Amino acid sequence: DRLLAFDGSLQQGTLFLGAQGGVMGMVRGQVTGQGLFTTTLKGHGAVAVMAHGGVIELPITPGRSVHVDPQAYVAHYGEVR
């Protein structure tokens, strides 16, 4: 529900999040309202996303962990694990 629009040149996909954390991850996704799937976009182009409140950009560098509340997460670019 946060993805508003994106360029037609981008490839859209769906990622199953239930595999991250096994059965407990699946249960947590349903109970918290996070859902079990998320939309992925690949390629170069513009994307419009919706966010409530202030948005903070956090730089991610190798060797530095960043933990974000799933309900507060908006989006990322590049590969993040």
Instruction: Note the Cα 27 to chain centre separation in Å.
Output: 18
- Of 65, 62, 61, 58, nearest in space to 73 by CA: 58
| Cβ partners under 8 Å of residue 10, min gap 6 | 41, 42, 43, 44, 45, 47
- Of 29, 31, 38, 32, nearest in space to 1 by CA: 38
For 20-42, the pLDDT digits (tens) are: 555 565 565 555 556 677 788 89
Record the tokens describing residue 34, joined without a space: 């996070």
Give the SS3 label for residue 27.
helix
Instruction: Say which residue, 17 or 4, is predicted with more confidence.
Output: 4
For 48-77, the pLDDT digits (tens) are: 988 878 888 888 888 888 887 777 777 777
Q: Does the pLDDT value for residue 9 go beyond 90?
A: yes
